[in-house]
Chains A and B, each alone.
Chain A
Amino acid sequence: MEALGLLMHGFAVLLTWKTLLLMMTGLVLGIFVGVLPGLGGPNGVAILLPLTFTMDPTSAIVMLSCIYWGALFGGAITSILFNIPGEAWSVATTFDGYPMAQQGRAAEALTAAFTSSFIGSLVAVMLITFLAPMISSFALKFGPPEFFAVYLLTFCSFVGLGREAKHKTVISMSLGLLLAGIGMDTVSGQLRMTFGSAELLRGVNFLVAVIGLFGISEILLTMEERLALRGHAAGISLRVVLSVWKDLPKYWVTLLRSSFIGCWLGITPGGAIAASFMGYNLAKRFSKDQDSFGKGRIEGVFAPETAAHASGTSALLPMLALGIPGSGTAAILLGGLMVWGLNPGPLLFVEHKDFVWGLIASMYLGNVVGLVLVLTTVPIFASILRVPFAAVAPMIVVSCAIGAFAIQNAMFDIWLMLGFGVVGYVFKKIGIPLAPFTLALVLGNRAEDAFRLSMIGSGGDMKVFWSNGLVGSITTLAIVLLFWPVIDKAFSGVSRMVRPAKA
């Protein structure tokens, strides 16, 4: 129960007026970002990151994670009221949320969405509270080969388990790893891939790339769409909130199932999108009355929202414990940690106790404050959508430019951001996933260092990755995951050959 004591200490760090104010600011900005078309969790965090550069790390991460919670809450507002999923993971919420709004039950649907988001996050945060310290103290025994094996596992699972075409995931990942290597080589001091350019000497900054890839490209993509919308305005009264909460216990199985799915898919790079659909489909399959799904059933809001938020939150677990982000947004938060000079990974729990437990405590507090905030302010946020996109778009561009410049005070970075904006736009349209790229770019140097250190240790013998049970099983698992589609096909092929023989 050491964790509980430390958590209480974390709450003590947080409970100052300044931090609470930052939290509220972060949440409001986050909801704003979540509601606006063309912006979402990762983009919002990336664009608003520079605001936090001058703060101390704890305040900064509290604010950033609150932006993230806010964006998660905000996505539900547009899905239910306007049938426009602000994020890919709120698509499943529209299935039953929008019909409810059409029937005049928007307030009920919104309450259900916010409450279940809260429950999902809460379960995931509890998991983080108790599991993260254990995993990190286990990971403290890791040497370079083990770390490289874990990185390899992350990369391989993206390739093997991702839904995109395999070669496109590989392209995205190797490109990210290559760009991470540009600039001064940290081991030998030699310059790599700079082609004599002084600007490239600094390397490609992760955050600049992210702001371009997610911020600028998202605006270009949004402009392609028809931006007209019509939806229901909604105010939430206390009576509705209480009546929904009174019914909550009836749905405990759905909530529990979705939380579990979400946590699992959040830690493995399955992601919130898969989690929300899986949560919805399972709730439907286990329901006695399947036909009523899609026609405004409150369970159809509970299931995907709980799963999506459990997943979005638990994606922070591997980031905190191992330094490996479980989602795009987690990768950006990780980039933020590095800007403040914190080295994410198991040592974080030893060297920066205040920071880690402050962050975990802020997840609890941020969710409670966020729930109250969204329940009371929904009508205001819904009306943000009245602001024309022609006013919002240039402001986003300016914020992106400020963000890109502020990181290294370099004009070149603004141009780089623009370039990444175009790359992101094209990649998204031809189906090259951006998440592996982001992950590779942020982990690239650490993966390479781990690889080189283990090679130096072993004298260039690849057998070092199978030198003991632990590293051997991680490496083998990585390779199995990499070839999972092939193995899966082979297995089903074999079983198909065997079955007719038996029959």
Chain B
Amino acid sequence: MSNTDIEIVVEDPTAPEANSPQVVSVRVVDVVVSLLLLALAITLGLDNWRAGAGWESTGPQPGYFPFYLSVILGGASLYGLVAAFLSRTEATETFVTRAQLRRVMAVFVPTVLFCVATQFLGLYVASFLLISGFMRLVGKIALWKSLLTAFVFTAVMFVTFDVAFDVIMPKGPLEAALGR
């Protein structure tokens, strides 16, 4: 036989367990989202009403088109709210289990920190920290591999964007010290 039988195997040791308890049901999230959308629709609707949602001699006022869209959005979310309340299937569906939420947070929290770091330290330093930290702490990959990967990736990004293509990214104290 040819080499078609060789298998590629990738393990996922930190995979979320299948029997983890649910944190919240689809119905609850659906209701909350519908309420938020309704609030958004009302806010935007009022703002457009203020901007003028009627007609003037030259045609529709600026708020006309978005005002009626807010009305449509509000109506649809109101319908969604009622539908979510009445839905039997959504109440039994799991939105996210505890184990899944832990994994999602393991990506989301570092991403938020990365954005904060970008604001103060510049994008390149932040991305080095994110990649090395994430690989080491979440992925449990050897420290030298993590640092090397992070450095190579960040360097490639820097050369591609800053040097070759002149796309300017947010920079911080390190770049300033290096004179870039």
Q: How many A-B residue pairs have C-beta atoms within 8 angstroms? Tell me.
A: 226
User: Is the beta-carbon distance between B62 and A395 smaller than 8 angstroms?
Assistant: no
User: Is the beta-carbon distance between B114 and A401 smaller than 8 angstroms?
Assistant: yes
* Residue picked from A107, A191, A193, most chain B C-beta under 10 Å: A193
User: Is the beta-carbon distance between B37 and A171 smaller than 8 angstroms?
Assistant: yes
Mark each residue of chain B from 111 to 144: 1 if its CB lies under 8 Å from any CB of chain A, else 0: 1101100110001000100110011001111000
| Bound: A228/B11 CA distance, A | 4
- Distance of A417 from chain B, by nearest CB (Å): 9
Which residue on chain A has the smallest CB distance to residue B6? Answer: A233
User: Is the beta-carbon distance between A383 and B115 smaller than 8 angstroms?
Assistant: no
User: Is the beta-carbon distance between A224 and B44 smaller than 8 angstroms?
Assistant: no
Which residue on chain A has the smallest CB distance to residue B31? Answer: A430
8 Å CB interface, B58-83 against A: 58-66, 69-70, 72-73, 76-77, 79-80, 83
Return the contact of B9 from the options A54, A188, A230, A395 (Cβ within 8 A). Answer: A230
- Distance of A15 from chain B, by nearest CB (Å): 24
Query: What is the size, in residues, of chain B's interface with A at 8 Å between Cβ atoms?
Result: 80
8 Å CB interface, B1-44 against A: 1-12, 15-16, 26, 29-30, 33, 37, 40, 44
Q: Which stretch of A268-276, A365-373, A403-411 is in the interface?
A: A403-411
Mark each residue of chain A from 228 to 265: 1 if its CB lies under 8 Å from any CB of chain B, else 0: 11111111010000000000000000000000000000
Which residue on chain A has the smallest CB distance to residue B68? Answer: A174
Return the contact of B29 from the options A174, A185, A426 (Cβ within 8 A). Answer: A426
| Bound: A409/B167 CA distance, A | 9
Return the contact of A216 from the options B4, B63, B111, B167 (Cβ within 8 A). Answer: B111
Interface of B is mostly: helix
Which residue on chain B has the smallest CB distance to residue A237? Answer: B2
| Bound: A174/B100 CA distance, A | 31
- Does B155 make an interface contact (CB < 8 A)? no
- Does B153 make an interface contact (CB < 8 A)? yes
Residues of chain A within 8 A (CB-CB) of B77 are 167, 171
- Does A187 make an interface contact (CB < 8 A)? yes
User: Is the beta-carbon distance between B170 and A411 smaller than 8 angstroms?
Assistant: yes
User: Is the beta-carbon distance between B165 and A51 smaller than 8 angstroms?
Assistant: yes
- Does A53 make an interface contact (CB < 8 A)? yes
- Does B86 make an interface contact (CB < 8 A)? no
- Distance of A214 from chain B, by nearest CB (Å): 15
User: Is the beta-carbon distance between A398 and B127 smaller than 8 angstroms?
Assistant: yes
Return the contact of B72 from the options A174, A383, A452 (Cβ within 8 A). Answer: A174
Residues of chain B within 8 A (CB-CB) of A391 are 131, 135, 139, 141, 149
Residues of chain A within 8 A (CB-CB) of B161 are 50, 402, 406
User: Is the beta-carbon distance between A54 and B167 smaller than 8 angstroms?
Assistant: yes
| Bound: A156/B160 CA distance, A | 43
User: Is the beta-carbon distance between A104 and B8 smaller than 8 angstroms?
Assistant: no
- Does A45 make an interface contact (CB < 8 A)? no
Residues of chain B within 8 A (CB-CB) of A13 are none
- Does A429 make an interface contact (CB < 8 A)? yes
User: Is the beta-carbon distance between B62 and A167 smaller than 8 angstroms?
Assistant: no
Return the contact of A171 from the options B76, B130, B154 (Cβ within 8 A). Answer: B76
User: Is the beta-carbon distance between A382 and B80 smaller than 8 angstroms?
Assistant: no
User: Is the beta-carbon distance between A53 and B167 smaller than 8 angstroms?
Assistant: yes
- Does B107 make an interface contact (CB < 8 A)? yes
Q: List 9 A-B contacts (CB under 8 A).
A: A167-B76, A191-B51, A193-B66, A195-B47, A388-B135, A390-B138, A398-B114, A401-B114, A452-B60
Residues on B lying within 8 angstroms of A by beta carbon are 1-12, 15-16, 26, 29-30, 33, 37, 40, 44, 47-48, 51, 55, 58-66, 69-70, 72-73, 76-77, 79-80, 83, 95-96, 100, 103-104, 106-108, 110-112, 114-115, 118-119, 123, 127, 130-131, 134-135, 138-141, 149, 153-154, 157, 160-161, 165-170
16 additional contacts (CB under 8 A) given A101-B4, A398-B127, A398-B130 = A53-B167, A104-B2, A104-B4, A171-B80, A220-B107, A227-B15, A229-B10, A237-B2, A385-B8, A386-B10, A394-B127, A402-B157, A406-B169, A426-B33, A430-B29, A452-B60
